[in-house]
Amino acid sequence: MRSIQAVVMSYSTRRLSKSLSPLALGLAVLAGFMSVPIVRAKRLHQTEQQLSAVQSSRPRRAGDEQRPGDKAGDNQRSGGNQRPGENQQDDKAIKLTSDLVTVLTSVSDASGNHVDDLGKNDFIVLEDNKPQDIAGLYREDQMPLRLIFLFDTSLSIRHRFDFEQRAAARFFQQVMRAGDQAAIMSVSTDPKMETQFTSNVNKLVDTLARLQPGGATSLYNALADSAKYLRPAEGRHVMVVLSDGADTISTSTLAQALTEVQKSDAMIFAVHSTGIAPSANVQDLGGEYVLKFMCEDTGGRAFFPPIYEDQAKEARDLDEIYRRLAAEVRAQYVLTYYSNSPSRDGHFRAIKVEVKRPGVQVRSRRGYYAPKPQ
């Protein structure tokens, strides 16, 4: 939970592998997507147990050192360059407090096209199945983007490293707009914030170019560290994860990492880093389901590029995935409401967003953590 008063006021003038069958693991993870708070925690725990079994049964990969990795990541906070825009939505700025709940929401039609002509009265927000009064509806150009790109630099990605770097660079060139800021964290044995929040696209591209593969995969630690870094930043919170989803060394669990992400009001998008092979026998299915789970839990989407013998074709497909990802980030709605629950207990509250228009698909995060007494 955080106040976004400064943002709204400054922008209100702008417009498993072999031990478990793929089906069994998939059902176990996907069941967690629909869970209420207690069931959600149980499913997360079960998923982690299954993933642990998968990881212990698969062959060791280069860089899978089994030692605790330090939680890296420079937690320096950045508010960012905020600039006024155009096309005012409301005549008067709404006075917001830290009790405001923000929900990033994506809406698409049956063909997968983004629906961008909805108003506040088209949405219904339920918290723990209770209707909430929507305080505001904002478009992506009314709230600046604060994006962290988690780039897996472990040895498991080394054979695709070059064109992954180039595709990610083009993504930044597509997604960034005036007032937006992005940061880059490398995901290896020790996650490292390579670049703090910046609006300089050339700096982001240069940072990607100097990354080198090496080490193990501390994905959950990286998620938790990124969420803590992102939490105080004003604007829309988005995390983009380039990884195969197979954590090998984190001291954080998946549940702990997603708790931090939910507290930061962030939406996760993921791009599978090594591609989807034609045969399930050579895939790390546990990692794939982790990517799907964390995206569904936060309202984002996971993308899985296919593997071809022709790397040029793979690169074209990867570029198209990032183009679609950038388009989705640019088409988000931001819903805000003040919870009508009087309790300040710090517990997880389930959120469901619905749209009155028939035939559309709505994606948003599964919930948030209520504020605690001061």
CATH 3.40.50.410 segments of the chain: 22-60+144-330
- Backbone phi and psi for residue 153, each to the nearest 5 degrees, phi listed first: -110, 15
What is the model's pLDDT at position 43? 53
- In the sheet with 134-139, reading across from the earlier edge strand, the strands are 134-139, 333-338, 100-108, 361-364
191's tokens: 């996650």
What is the model's pLDDT at position 314? 74
What is the model's pLDDT at position 12? 37
Strand 348-355 relative to strand 367-369, pairing? antiparallel
Q: Which pLDDT band holds residue 55 (cuts at 50, 70, 90)?
A: very low
- Backbone phi and psi for residue 75, each to the nearest 5 degrees, phi listed first: -90, 25
**Looking at the predicted structure, is the pLDDT value of residue 163 above 70?**
yes
Grouping H, G, I as helix, E, B as strand and the rest as coil, residue 193 is strand
Q: Which pLDDT band holds residue 160 (cuts at 50, 70, 90)?
A: confident
* Burial of 308 (C-beta count, 10 Å sphere; 0-12/13-18/19+): middle
CATH topology assigned to domain 22-60+144-330:
Rossmann fold (3.40.50)
What is the model's pLDDT at position 46? 55
- Tens digits of per-residue pLDDT, 352-372? 999 999 999 999 999 999 988
Torsion of CA 252, 253, 259, 263, to 10 degrees: 20
Q: Which pLDDT band holds residue 222 (cuts at 50, 70, 90)?
A: very high
pLDDT-wise least confident of 45-54, 142-151, 214-223: 45-54
Relative orientation angle of helices 37-57 and 285-298, to the nearest 10 degrees: 160
